[in-house]
Amino acid sequence: MMSSLVLAILSGLLYLIAYHSYGRFLARKLFQINPTKACPSETEQDGIDYVSTPRFVLFGHHFTSIAGTGPIVGPAIAIIWGWLPALLWILIGSIFMGAVHDFGSMMISLRHQGRTIGDIAGDLINPRVRLLFTLIIFFALWIVIAIFGVVIASVFHIFPASVAPVWLQLPLAIWLGHRVYKKGKSHLTSGIMAAILMYITIAIGSIFPIELPIVWGMSPVGSWVILLLIYAYIASTLPVTLLLQPRDYINAFQLIIAMTLLLIGIFIARPDMVAPVYQPDPPGAPPLFPLLFITLACGAISGFHCLVASGTSSKQCANEKDAQSIAYGGMLLEGFLAILVLIACGAGLGLGLDSETGQLKGTAAFQAQYASWQSAQGLGAKIAAFVTGASNLIASVGIPVAYASALMGLFVAAFAATTLDTATRLQRYVVAEITTHLGAPALAKKHPATAIAVISALLLAFSGEGGKGALLLWPLFGAVNQLLGGLALLVITVWLARKSRPIWITTLPMIFMFVMTAWAMKINLITFWEDQNRLLFSIGILIMLLQSWMIIEGVRVLIQLRTQKKVT
């Protein structure tokens, strides 16, 4: 059997080498970072969205925004095909695709007033593409906002001990922001103090778990969704220094502590991987190709990242030289987190799993959790697999399993809340860009744009029972998310071509993502048609047409640029 310790060490070393070699090459040669060039945070400074931010603080915001529950949920289900395919996709995808995608998206935005990559596509390709791209982005964020409300609400329902710590983190973040930005105190010292207080709240949550009752016939999940979307509205309209930055900075400390505990647990317990190395045909599962590359997105490459990199992070970046560590380094760290999740599910579960038949260990524990695609696919099952495996690893450090479970529950919920807040803010930008280009500038203002973002997500959420309406469109999200990644790589490729720089570095990942998303969408469309799901089938066809249209427009521009280069 493969040692989880060896797997973690080799992966970590590979990421360090990649950052200092390939990442440095991209920064110096491909994107040609200029430390003396003024960033949008300086030229467009407004104190709300455009705010110059220290690198380590912005790294916390960027990482917690791109991560969310993605690098947890994706690996937790992809491991059903075996840990080796998932591991290879995480390593290759994050180094040569995802990190390039994130880095390029941020650099393009830094060179275009901090605008989103969808809006910039209109300058680089044509105005039609701007509208097409922003519509696809709106659709993706629409689902993300609604579904993450359900994700956090479900975590609250499954782990009621996580409720108090998540909500108490908000006044902690405001206190941290006031201490740093108003009183001028140290980021590091204040952040450590806030992190300590946050872990005290975990003990409070363990003692006082919060469970909502059924109110006016509405389930607890539905009530949480409403409360969370109200929070998202407020949080996404506040200045980034008041809540977003300090809260994400606290979560960055949480990440470091959680990953450190997992690494120490792996070193002490040294469990072998009990998951199968390769399992191409799990019971009831779709084919590994191409579904692995759609199911496991965050941790390898995710289109959502281009929205964060070009939407919020570029507006706060203080210097172009920070972009490599924030965008490229952030993606590599997310890849490493995905590998730790893989180890938690593939080895940590083997340390012990409570079942109806008693305490299971080793391969039997993994098989009980991943008996079939249906048993592993539900949100609760995926989160439970990670939390159980991670808690087992952390327990080997000497921390009680109950506290470790609460810690991991907070970890999942807090990161999901960060993504909800950031996605709502991003949707505000997208709505503002769309309405501005449609000649309705009044709707582009902060509150009208945010209202459109939140109300549309609320309508989607409650188009189904208990606020879970977004689950109706969720089968489309994986392919749409990865389509965004391919389209972002297309825009980056056109930008590089206009700068007369090598385009193969982004072209190859772009082609790969387009092929995989088209292949996955074809499988989905066949399934939707056979299930007589006309809604998903129609939306899927529309997305395929928009994708094809954008690709044709982009390729046409690339051919024109190549022709002009030959003539000159």
Taking only the tens place, the pLDDT of each residue in 430-440 is 999 889 888 89
The single-letter DSSP state of residue 80 is: G
Read off the pTM: 0.93
Number of H helices, E strands in the chain: 26, 2
Could you tell me the residue range of the domain that residue 439 belongs to?
A: 4-211+218-473
Neighbouring residues of 89: CB distance < 8 A, sequence distance ≥ 6 = 78, 292, 293, 296, 300
Phi, psi of 62 (to 5 degrees): -60, -45
pLDDT for the residue numbered 463: 86
Q: Which position has the token pair 């999942």?
A: 412
Kindly tell me if the per-residue pLDDT of 144 is higher than 80.
yes
Q: How far is CA 317 from CA 25, 106, 249, 383, in A?
A: 20, 9, 15, 33
Q: Mean pLDDT over all residues of the chain?
A: 90
Query: How many separate domains does the chain show?
Result: 1
Please give the radius of gyration of the chain, using alpha carbons only, rounded to the nearest integer: 22
What's the mean pLDDT in 59-87?
90
Apex 135 CA angle, 134 and 136, nearest 5? 90
Using DSSP bridges, classify how beta strands 358-360 and 353-355 pair: parallel, antiparallel or unpaired. antiparallel
Residue 487 domain-assigned (yes or no): no
Please indicate whether residue 375 or residue 210 has the higher confidence score (pLDDT).
Answer: 210
Whether the per-residue pLDDT at 160 is higher than 90: the answer is no
Residue 480 has pLDDT above 60, yes or no: yes
pLDDT at 380: 64
pLDDT at 465 over 80: no
Give pLDDT, residue 117: 94
The residue among 34 and 248 whose pLDDT is bigger is 34
What pLDDT does residue 222 have?
A: 86
Residue 565 within any structural domain of the chain: no
Look-up of token digits 């808690």: 391
Question: Would you call 222 exposed, middle or buried from its count of C-beta atoms within 10 A (0-12, 13-18, 19+)?
Answer: buried
Summarize pLDDT for 317-326 with one digit per residue, the tens.
Answer: 999 999 999 9
Give yes or no for a contact between 503 and 490, defined as CB atoms under 8 angstroms apart.
no
* Higher per-residue pLDDT: 401 or 541: 541
- Does residue 45 surpass a pLDDT of 90? yes
In-domain check, residue 432 = yes
Q: How far apart are CA 553 and CA 193, in angstroms?
A: 52
pLDDT digit string (tens) for 324-360?
999 999 999 999 999 999 999 999 999 988 766 667 8
Q: How far apart are CA 486 and CA 503, in angstroms?
A: 14
DSSP SS3 for 545: helix
Classify residue 439 as exposed, middle or buried by CB count within 10 Å of its CB (0-12, 13-18, 19+).
exposed
Average pLDDT estimate for 1-29: 95
Q: What is the pLDDT of residue 237?
A: 92
> Would you state the pLDDT for residue 34?
96
Q: Is the pLDDT of residue 205 over 70?
A: yes
CA angle 138, 103, 260 (to 5 degrees): 100
Residue 374 reports pLDDT greater than 80: no
Peptide bond into 290 cis (omega under 30): yes
- Classify residue 480: in a domain, yes or no: no
Does residue 514 belong to any structural domain of this protein?
A: no
Give, as one character, the DSSP assignment of residue 548.
Answer: H
Q: What percent of the chain has pLDDT over 70?
A: 97
C-beta of residue 444 within 8 angstroms of C-beta of residue 435? yes
pLDDT above 80: residue 567? no
pLDDT in tens, 166-184: 899 999 999 999 998 888 8
Q: What pLDDT sits at residue 452?
A: 95
**Residue 510 counted as domain residue:** no
**Is 485 among the domain residues?**
no
Task: Summarize pLDDT for 119-139 with one digit per residue, the tens.
Answer: 999 999 988 888 888 888 999
> What pLDDT, on the 0 to 100 scale, is given for residue 429?
92
Reported as a pLDDT band with limits 50, 70 and 90, residue 35 is: very high
Is the Cα torsion angle 441, 443, 448, 449 positive or negative in sign?
negative
- Residue 25 to residue 20: CA distance in whole angstroms: 8
Closest CA to 202 of 415, 412, 410: 410
Q: Which residue has the tokens 């039609």?
A: 128
Residue 549 falls within a domain, yes or no? no
Backbone angles phi, psi at 474, to 5 degrees: -55, -35
Q: How far apart are CA 12 and CA 3, in angstroms?
A: 14
Give whole-number Cα distances, 276 to 337, 350, 370, 418, in Å: 20, 12, 11, 33
Range 501-525 average pLDDT = 94
CA distance 154 to 163: 11
Whether the predicted pLDDT of 381 surpasses 70: no
The residue-averaged pLDDT of 284-304 equals 92
What's the pLDDT at 568?
57
H or E element: which one contains 505? helix 504-530
Query: What's the pLDDT score for residue 507?
Result: 96
Q: Is the pLDDT of residue 153 over 80?
A: yes
Task: Find, among 244, 232, 449, 322, the residue nearest to 41 by Cα.
Answer: 322
